[in-house]
Structure 1
Amino acid sequence: MKKVEIMDEYFDSHQGKITSSEICSIVTTVFDLNLETKPILGEMTSSENKAKMAIDSRLAQYEKEISGAEIRELINQIFGINLDAVSSLDGSRISLFSKDQWINRQDRDLFVVHTGPGDVDVMIYPTDFFIERTGLKELPEDLKQELINLGFYFDNEVGNYYYADAHENAVPDAFKGQTIGAILKVIRQSYQNL
């Protein structure tokens, strides 16, 4: 089962109006993400009270029971964490480092998507597993080209393929999706049996 399906089962079995504490607990259980330590979009600091107050404020806008999909949208709007996208990475062989922690990571992953603070920049690099299995110490040429087509460039300072928004805005979910899609395309075409 995908993580979003597990999350939905938790919410479907819940009786009555859900609280911010219950949402935080379920997200921690399913995704291993502690929302209470994550800053709200546009703020640099975080606290348990801020997170729960922001969730409670949004929950108050719903007169009926709220669905898992609506809760995930609410979390994305408040924290900039797209749980649907995170769940789609299950089994993808892509590790994701974001919000100062590993969001998705498995021993046999091939590539890392690493976002900086506020998601204003993204680096892509091979995992140790990929390097060990292929002998390549850098991204394969077909992936480099896919990333260049999206606006990435090789940054000598960080030593990886890099993209940053020119205005220091958070990289949009659509761009993240295109980046993941490009990586998945290369994995399917060249590294599926690795």
Structure 2
Amino acid sequence: MKNQFKKLILLMLMTSVALTGGVGSVFAQEAASNANPQAYEAQQIKEDAKYSKKVMKAVRVGLGVDEKFTQADGVIETMPKVEVMNYYLASFGKKVKGQEVRLAVEEIFDIDLNYVSKMDYGSKLAIYPPAVMESLRVSLNEEPKSTMQDARIMDMTKNQVMDRYIKERDYSLTGEESRTLINQIFGVNLSGISNLEYMQIAVSSKGQWIVKSDSDLFVLESSLDDVDVSIYTTPYFKSVTGSEGLPESLKNKLVNIGFTYDEEANLLYYKNPTGESVPDAFKGQVMGILIGTIMTEYKNRY
């Protein structure tokens, strides 16, 4: 990966010299625009950089270039957020604690897991997945299959559960393993969020905006415990289509999987009948329908 990245940077610089007579950040921005015009346009409207200086330095070093080599920034800013997170986590060394993982999530995704834990938002579960429960039981000096301490585990804050799990794994989780753990404990699917960037779908969950831009067409909003889900259009949707109404094709598909359409409020609503957080498989199905609607009816039009 590092060698490929260096070759890409070299190609950018050579082309910059040929086209402009000099090396500058303008070409890096131009390359980003050509790679993903919509991403570039969304980025241009922001006054601040996409990532903090410490994140950018860490990723530059992780990619094998000098930490001050800003010509690489155009490439970094178009990388999937999960890749940026991997490089940033690596900058902490071989042992990465829970608080450092949470810092990385806030720095890269702008999601405050400490706040989610403090307010006890996120997944409402009777019990965590087996891998989490078994590690927590061991951390409490119980056998992996023992249920004697399960009530105590479920009474812990999400941060405490995360920290105990990571400690039990000797602080050696990979970026992917950390994201899986976060989804299991907090109900925050960072990999899914990374894939949603520039998809024109805003996501509000756990009392925070998870994904949001000025060109979003739809909003997917979940309750603080992820038991309820609502979908509605944005002001941008109205401005470009001339209508506030949800498209019939979207309404039909979501009603078929259990949503209810509220005509007065112009929103689609779903509540998990089990009283627990909506499972990942259902979230994925809903997101797939939303993305499919945008791709077939609105992509390259708005």
The amino acid of 2:298's aligned partner reads Y
Following the alignment from structure 2 to structure 1, what is the Cα–Cα distance between the partners of residues 296 and 247? 12
Question: What TM-score do you get using the length of structure 1 for normalisation?
Answer: 0.90
Structure 1 residues 149 and 8, CA gap change in structure 2 (3 angstroms): same
Match for residue 271 of structure 2?
164
Deviation digits for residues 147-182 of structure 1 (CA, Å, limit 9, x no counterpart): 112211113575411111112211111111111100
Following the alignment from structure 2 to structure 1, what is the Cα–Cα distance between the partners of residues 241 and 263? 23
In the alignment, structure 1 residue 155 sits paired with structure 2 residue 262: yes
Match of 2:90 among 12, 17, 24: 12
Match of 1:102 among 209, 232, 242: 209
Match for residue 46 of structure 1?
none
In the alignment, structure 1 residue 71 sits paired with structure 2 residue 178: yes
Deviation digits for residues 78-112 of structure 1 (CA, Å, limit 9, x no counterpart): 21111111111101110000001110000001100
Match of 2:100 among 2, 7, 22: 22
Following the alignment from structure 1 to structure 2, what is the Cα–Cα distance between the partners of residues 42 and 143? 27
Match for residue 115 of structure 1?
222
Structure with more of its chain in strand, by fraction: 1
Following the alignment from structure 2 to structure 1, what is the Cα–Cα distance between the partners of residues 165 and 265? 39
Following the alignment from structure 1 to structure 2, what is the Cα–Cα distance between the partners of residues 78 and 5? 21
Structure 1 residues 156 and 130, CA gap change in structure 2 (3 angstroms): closer
Among the aligned pairs, what percent are the same residue? 39
In the alignment, structure 1 residue 93 sits paired with structure 2 residue 171: no
Which has the larger displacement, 143-152 or 178-187?
143-152
CA RMSD of aligned residues (A): 1.9
Which has the larger displacement, 87-96 or 141-150?
141-150
Match of 2:251 among 126, 144, 148: 144
Query: Which structure is larger by alpha-carbon Rg, 1 or 2?
Result: 2
Structure 1 runs not aligned, ≥5 long: 44-48
Structure 2 runs not aligned, ≥5 long: 1-78, 126-155
Structure with more of its chain in helix, by fraction: 2
Structure 1 residues 50 and 170, CA gap change in structure 2 (3 angstroms): closer
Following the alignment from structure 2 to structure 1, what is the Cα–Cα distance between the partners of residues 250 and 285? 13
Match of 2:166 among 59, 74, 77: 59
Following the alignment from structure 2 to structure 1, what is the Cα–Cα distance between the partners of residues 264 and 229? 14
Structure 1 residues 167 and 51, CA gap change in structure 2 (3 angstroms): closer
The amino acid of 1:95's aligned partner reads A
The amino acid of 2:192's aligned partner reads A
Structure 1 residues 171 and 51, CA gap change in structure 2 (3 angstroms): closer
The amino acid of 1:76's aligned partner reads N
Match of 1:180 among 272, 276, 287: 287
* Residue 136 of structure 1: how far off its partner (Å): 1.4
Following the alignment from structure 1 to structure 2, what is the Cα–Cα distance between the partners of residues 158 and 129? 17
SS at match of 1:154: strand
